[in-house]
Amino acid sequence: MKIGFIGLGTMGRGMAQQLLEAGHEVTVWNRSSEAAEALAEQGAKIAKTPADAARHEVLVSMLADDQAAHQVLVESKAIEAMKKGSVHVNMATVSVAFARGMAALHERLGVGYVAAPVLGRPDVAAAGKLNIIAAGATAHIEHVSPVLDAMGQAVWPLGESPERANVAKIAANFMLASAIESMAEASTLTRAYGIEASDFLDIVTNTLFASPAYQGYGKMIAEARFEPAGFTMRLGHKDVGLALSAGDEQNVALPLGSAVRDRLLDALANGDGDKDWSGLAEVAARQAHLDKR
């Protein structure tokens, strides 16, 4: 398939590479040229503008947040440049309000729209092993299935309303943030009693919480390995905020979300916004004044 790909950040680079390896013809656009040039060496074409990338059978976008997506896709008129009958696959984690607005815009312009946020970190994206949550018209999802299959190990459909995929992704990230915060607090408690975080987390992630999320982030906390970030504190703060906003709209209280947001805000205030969000362990230790004990 002829695919335009917009957004070559830590996730997008690996995803676009998987499309190339699957034999698709990929045209890429990115704000900074380095990532695009690296993919060009692997066979990708480089678009001069977002609109140029959008003029293909399928457009895939992977941008950081609502603001970036609006600037790159809407203000640039990239969506307006899409051909009738083509489909846009938006794989970013965006707010419910933005998801609704994008769905309405595409419908008005007569082009397809699929929300397909992903579960997985950059290494998972680079391996083509993402789990993809997809929502949109059945015909549109079927049309882009070769694209989704090239980037992920499984596609999890959630109906025809695109915003449902975004809500599921926001809820999943809220659960991840809560898991990281619980490990951060619990390992800080054990450290206060002379038990190394690595010893404690080795126990719980191989018994009560023997799952990929706990094991992966538990290892990062145990090793105090917060840079380079796979998912930053800044993005975590954004996503927990999206969960709280979605809860407000439907009168769903998320008290854990409020607590984790405050922890992430503390990290931002201390200049740690670009560290991995597993660095919540540093916030917990700092607030417990472990360094002074």
Q: Angle at which helices 96-109 and 162-192 pack, to 10 degrees?
A: 160
- Active-site residue, selected from the candidate residues 129, 169, 219, 292: 169
Integer Cα distance of 283 and 136 in angstroms: 39
Integer angstrom CA distances of residue 178 from 14, 237, 241, 262, 292: 27, 12, 13, 12, 27
Which token pair is 183? 């490990």
Active-site residue, 2 included? no
Q: Which residue in 255, 94, 65, 282 sits closest to 178, CA to CA? A: 255
255-269 vs 233-249: helix crossing angle, rounded to 10: 150
CB atoms < 10 A from the CB of 128, how many? 19
Residue numbers annotated as active site? 169
